[in-house]
Structure 1
């Protein structure tokens, strides 16, 4: 189960709409979202490539190609997603997303979603490859080592063709999941979707994702219930300073026409509002 922290009004909207919103990740609270991979991580890797034993002329030409390519990558095929936490009761999540412990946390069973696989997606004409979920990678020395090795091996094997044979696809593949390490206390897992450029209408797939453009910003809707009492939602947690009672929660669910088994709990956090 994965947990989505939110405000009470957002909780009500999720219950009434019966969908999760997948929003443009580049507009999230992390200003380095997506760009960190192509900027900070790549800068660290290319410094090491220039110091390696690979022919200097080949490395410099490859870096020139990739620098130009990455300026394009941050502008196209922007990922849409929704963020979850691996834990049900985390203060950092409550403070940032759960209205400073006055909100709600929702636990979803990802196995419920038909066609949603635990893997990093990438832009693709095949829908099943364009959506998926995985844990966020927080930028550290090990991550830089891994990416350096990928780039080093690719250039050694493919020379000037390395950018298209392995380096560029790898950076693009991971870009929606690499974050600033100061966010590591969020224990984040996220669902990411790369929408097709060819259509702004309903996408015919098992997950029934559709685009909504009538909101202040465009986003994609992922249904989490089939309307017959079969839901991905399995738990509802109330923040330690949330005003909702158990009766309020069930009233919200009933008004939304929802049924099914839900675990209801209250946070053990001891945060004092000031």
Structure 2
């Protein structure tokens, strides 16, 4: 099997047409997700990326990582506590997943748009 950098965004037809027409991908607040474990996973990914950055740069965030790894340090909240929520978009490496079609692409009547993950990373590095 050939490795691919393509990740897929499953959506209904109207959303897909809007993305293609306006060249904009809307994000969702993690507070709107129905599974609190998704927020914890995002937090863990964030910490991993931050640790990788810190290891390449200054290594000044070591105390933060020690605290963040302690049980109960990270908590999820159902109400905004004066901080802005994180926003996300969800992608799949599978371009033809029944569960993705059913859950996100209007029960199979929508579309899956492929994006180059390396391009996302390049854009992120520019910021």
TM-score, length basis structure 1: 0.29
Write the mapping of 1:149-228 to structure 2, written as runs, cut at 5 A: 206=126
TM-score, length basis structure 2: 0.57
CA separation in 2, counterparts of 1:83 and 1:37? 11
Q: Is 1:80 aligned with 2:91?
A: no
Residue 66 of structure 1 deviates from its aligned partner by: 5.9
**Equivalent residue for 1:105, pick from 66, 87, 112:** 112
Cα pair 1:26 1:33 within 8 Å, conserved: no
Larger-Rg structure: 1
Q: Is 1:33 aligned with 2:38?
A: yes
Q: Deviations over 1:133-183 (max 9, x none)?
A: xxxxxxxxxxxxxxxxxxxxxxxxxxxxxxxxxxxxxxxxxxxxxxxxxxx
Match of 1:12 in 2: 17
Looking at secondary structure, tell me which structure has more helix per residue. Answer: 2
CA separation in 2, counterparts of 1:37 and 1:108? 20
Match of 1:90 in 2: 97
What are the ranges of 5 or more consecutive residues in structure 2 without an aligned counterpart? 1-5, 44-66
CA separation in 2, counterparts of 1:86 and 1:2? 5
Residue 111 of structure 1 deviates from its aligned partner by: 2.0
CA separation in 2, counterparts of 1:89 and 1:70? 35
What are the ranges of 5 or more consecutive residues in structure 1 without an aligned counterpart? 39-61, 117-127, 129-205, 208-274
CA separation in 2, counterparts of 1:87 and 1:7? 17
Match of 1:24 in 2: 29
Looking at secondary structure, tell me which structure has more strand per residue. Answer: 1
> Quick one: higher RCO (CA 8 Å, sep 6+), 1 or 2?
2
Residue 34 of structure 1 deviates from its aligned partner by: 1.6
CA separation in 1, counterparts of 2:42 and 2:24? 30
Match of 2:7 in 1: 2
Q: 1:78 to 1:16 in 2, by over 3 A?
A: same
